Amino acid sequence: MIGGLMVVPAGLIAAMTGQVAPTPASTTDTQAVAAAARKIVMDVECDLGFEPVDREFEHLGYDVESRDPRGAQSMRFIEVKGRRADADTVTVTKNEIL
């Protein structure tokens, strides 16, 4: 295993603490920031010698598919989370978890 995470819904935390659940940023801002984050990740993958492909709009549960061209039969499936500097939350969808 390379990494892991635990997802706790913001609405659940808000309900348990008596606070109001945060509202997401506007879709336009979110999409622009996410696109910029994917580009950064893809640039880094290229610098590492991999061949990344943006799969964001195919709804596969990850954003970038990155292949090792050296024949190691290695494929990386990368979920990118880019957020605005003032964002309080990161959203993970059911499809991304699966």
Span 16-71, pLDDT tens digits: 898 887 776 565 677 888 899 999 999 999 999 999 999 999 989 899 999 988 87
Answer whether residue 73 shows pLDDT above 80: no
> Which residue range forms the structural domain that includes residue 62?
25-97
Domain membership of residue 53 (yes or no) is yes
- Check if the beta carbon of residue 30 is closer than 8 Å to that of residue 80: no
pTM of the model: 0.67
CB contact set of 16 (below 8 Å; sequence gap of 6+): none
Domain membership of residue 70 (yes or no) is yes
Total count of residues recorded for the chain: 98
81 phi/psi in degrees, rounded to 5: -120, 100
Q: What's the pLDDT score for residue 24? A: 64
Number of domains, the chain: 1
One-letter identity of residue 38: R
Q: What's the pLDDT score for residue 42? A: 94
Output the CA–CA distances (angstroms, integers) from residue 11 to 2, 26, 63, 68, in the order listed.
Answer: 29, 18, 25, 39
Domain membership of residue 58 (yes or no) is yes
